[in-house]
Amino acid sequence: MSEKIIIIGGGPAGYTAGIYAARGNLAPLVFEGFMAGGIPGGQLMTTGAVENFPGFEKGIDGQQLMATMRQQALNMGCRILTEDIEKIMLDKNPFEVLGAESGLYQSQTLVVATGAAAKRLPLPSERKLWGKGLSACAVCDGALPMFRNKPLAVIGGGDSAIEEALHLSHFGSKVYLIHRRDSFRASHIMRARAQEHPKIEILWNKTVEEFLGESAVSGLRLRDTVSGALTTLEVAGAFEAIGHRPNTALVKGQLELDEDGYVITKAGSTETSRHGVFAAGDVQDKKFRQAITSAASGCMAAIEAGRFLQETP
């Protein structure tokens, strides 16, 4: 029997799509994944306090927020399977979806909400200090008290790295922008903003050898890529901005993706290049990458899927 809607992803986008689809009487089936592209609950499962999701005046723990969202989806009538999708076949009508354990499903519509993952530096000290003054999201974590009026570092050289540095300049006493080359790949306007900013200092030709600190970041050991010299930089926080990897392996070659591998959606919509397939959350958003924007697009995807079902005989 064909499902009306299958939602792939159990982050803010997937659960919110589930809540709206259940309320729209679409009897949604949600695959929240297991290990293929993150974990059930998504990226917020790896963080502590979430202070910018509306509705929680004192903030909320990431895992608690996602457990509550999941329970709300169940209460509304969603069926949730903790299982990876291994393959989807968009050339079939209805679409076909292969679950890693439970096998083949058919569905009239699909919501792809498989998220993205921040690229991270492959250093043992990085693993040790992750979440202890080391983050990949300045918008999420930059305002935390531990970073206020302290020297901070951003690692990267693209537009996102400069955006992170500019954001952090509101909180830190100084922001070091650490770049492994001697010029930015960021756009001209962003480069100028960083170079002219009184609180931002750019350290060219440097890579991070080690994050220093025991219970929290206290500094960075940097290597000069030209001379090979090692130096120590004291900072109270570090933000990696070396790019994100959208989880689009499932749809590669079947949906239109942009040059960075994100699903392309129509402006103001979650419609993809394939009629009846909608994409929500970080998998189609390299600009905002927030829980609230992901949840919002999950809502849009469920509503658009419902309208598609009404209009399609």
The size of the interface with ligand FAD (CB under 6 A), counted in residues, is 44
Single out the segment in contact with ligand FAD by CB under 6 A; choices: 180-188, 198-206, 261-269, 279-287.
279-287
Candidate list 84, 140, 159, 285, residue with the active-site label: 140
**Any idea of the CA torsion for 135, 138, 143, 148, to the nearest 10 degrees?**
70
- Is residue 299 flagged as an active site residue? no
Asked if residue 248 binds ligand FAD (CB under 6 A), the reply is no
Candidate list 61, 84, 91, 137, residue with the active-site label: 137
The CA distances from residue 308 to 24, 61, 303, in Å, are: 12, 36, 9
Q: What six digits make up the tokens of 222?
A: 């940097």
Minimum separation from the CB atom of position 137 to ligand FAD (A):
5
Residue 180 and residue 207 in contact, taking contact as beta carbons nearer than 8 Å? yes
Instruction: Tell which one of 24, 42, 276, 306 touches ligand FAD (CB under 6 A).
Output: 42
Instruction: Tell which one of 3, 4, 6, 14 touches ligand FAD (CB under 6 A).
Output: 14
Spatial separation of the C-alpha atoms in residues 134 and 84, rounded to whole Å = 29
Asked if residue 46 binds ligand FAD (CB under 6 A), the reply is yes
Spatial separation of the C-alpha atoms in residues 167 and 202, rounded to whole Å = 15
Q: Please, what is the angle between helix 159-168 and helix 188-196, to 10°?
A: 30
Single out the segment in contact with ligand FAD by CB under 6 A; choices: 25-33, 168-176, 196-204, 232-240.
25-33
Q: What six digits make up the tokens of 13?
A: 């986008």
Instruction: Tell which one of 3, 84, 164, 240 touches ligand FAD (CB under 6 A).
Output: 84
Cβ proximity to ligand FAD: between 11 and 28 the closer is: 11
Where do runs of H (alpha helix) occur along the chain? 12-23, 62-76, 124-129, 138-141, 159-168, 188-196, 291-311
- Is residue 78 flagged as an active site residue? no
Minimum separation from the CB atom of position 230 to ligand FAD (A):
28
Q: Which amino acid is at 214?
A: E
Residues of this chain that bind ligand FAD (CB under 6 A): 8-14, 31-33, 36-44, 46-47, 50, 52-53, 84-85, 113-116, 118, 136-137, 140, 247, 250, 281-283, 289-292, 294
Question: Any idea which residues carry the catalytic annotation?
Answer: 137, 140-141
